[in-house]
Structure 1
Amino acid sequence: MTRPRSTESIIIVTIINVIFARSFNAVVCVSMQPASLTERNLGEQKPKTLAACHYDSDCVENAYCLSQETCQCKEGYFVDRNRTHAQCLASIGQICQVTDNCHIEGSPSYCVTGICTCPFQHHPNENGTRCIRSSILGDECTVDEECVTMNSKCYDVCRCRVDHVISGDQKRCLKVANTVGEPCDEDSQCQEYVSHSECREGSCACETNYHQRGPVCMKSVELSGSCTSHQQCVTRTHKDSNSSEVTSVDCVDGICTCANNYMTTEDSLDCVRYSENGASTINFATQLLFILSIFQILPALFRERFCFKT
């Protein structure tokens, strides 16, 4: 005789049947449905392009979709097209994974530690699209870009540009000085345009026995010495000057002499104004004597004019 089921057993069996039925139906439905659009796209991905687009994902690697219309290479990348496809390749200095990622016109390039790099003894042009032969001072060249020394130019060989001179070690181009006082590293910078000058403590200065007159150096001639220009004449207190005008000393008849309104000091080494050499004291004494003499004359005049004879 079959024992009747309890209420609890009936509930448990019912729940199991429901769960099993749902699982079975789900399996059947999935198996009978056609492949979804997403699954079809995985099998047939839309080809990447450098033409029309709606999203960045429509474009090739290292490109983006501009205004949802056209793919353009990112900054630092350039278009490379062949018969079958187009791609955006990295310029010199940009990130790469393999050498084929680098785009260099007319010369080989390499992906070194993740960066597109020119070969040995070559350097990139200004926009990084070509590798150019590196030429130092004295090397043959065909274009200015090949000369790697700063301020150099191609004159069939690499040489320093105008207003520059080559350094003593033949490795640098140094800017020449136009006047006394301009900065310098070597004597040649000063002597190119300013005769009798030298580089002293980082600036151009006149050599010994020469002095500055305006922008140039002149030979120093002391008082009573022979001269051809007032700029040569110097005194103890008047030597270097930014001005080239006549001041306290002048060249008169070929001899360095004190200028107008100046007189020679007792040691004959300098020129000073008259008032600076005791002339003012003399003038004051003269005036004082004149005043005293007036006071001596006045009493006599007064008696003669107003007093009666006794």
Structure 2
Amino acid sequence: MGGLGLFLALLALVGQGNVMGQGAEKRRTGNVCSVDMDCPDNAFCRQSSYCVCKDGFVYAAVNSTHKGCLKEARSGEPCVQHIQCHSTLGVHSECADGVCACVGTAHLEDDRCYETAVVGERCVVDQNCYLGEPGPPRQAFCVRGYCTCQLQFSPRDNGTRCVRDATLGEECEDQLQCAGPGLQCRGTCRCRENWVAHNETNSCVESVKALNDPCEYDVQCDALAGVPEARSPGAALCLGGACSCAYSAHAVGKPPRCWHRRRPGQECRRDEECVSEENEPGYCLSGRCTCKTCSPDARDFGAASTMSQPPLLIAAILAVAAILRH
């Protein structure tokens, strides 16, 4: 076991030396040497045999007649040859106007040039997916070889933007942004006609159109409570999986709608609310429920609402007489 371990260690060391040698070979100048003094500037003599550029330098043409070790350059740094930029920025860089920069089809990210792809285009790494907004958070990722918006985002403008999906009550820029059934964009995501907001789930649910139709939430039955111009909140509920009138309400009209039950003498707003103890339909008079045969009736409300002028006049005369007597 000891011999095998030593063999593997030596093999790894040789492999490491080969890798280092390959890196150095890329910087080999071609000059024969015995000592460092035999090599050009920014190079050293390797194994007393040949010259190699120092770390951070690459061998390239300095001009049309002379080659040498040129300093590697990063984005925005001066350069002479493309290879100075490739060493640090990758192959999607170039030396343009004496300065290292990414080529026109690439962008700079993490100090390296990556070929640019928008949503829907092919990619190799996440850094290819560039939407013109550097820095976190990243909105697009390389998924199975194609740039894709992150979860709960969708593409816009030919894949150059990713827009977050909006929920009920949030601002939106178009219909696609309102994610979920029954939503429409009107500056903010709102429920469409015949849909209502269910606050507990922050979503839209479809309104039920008739009593006894199936439902899941009370809010689906709201349209059956009263009429649009005079609602009767809470008069219709989802009971046993179907829209029904609440226990304190009754169904009136065609098609039937639910109204809170008001007895004779109680305050009211609409005739539909009024019903006697015998369930005889009544009517709303002067803000109070009454009916033809129930008590109190319409005559009671008429007498209660006004007072005849003669009794008032007599009371005034008696008061004046009492004052004059004293």
TM-score (norm 1): 0.49
Larger Rg, first or second structure (1 or 2): 1
Which structure is higher in strand share?
A: 2
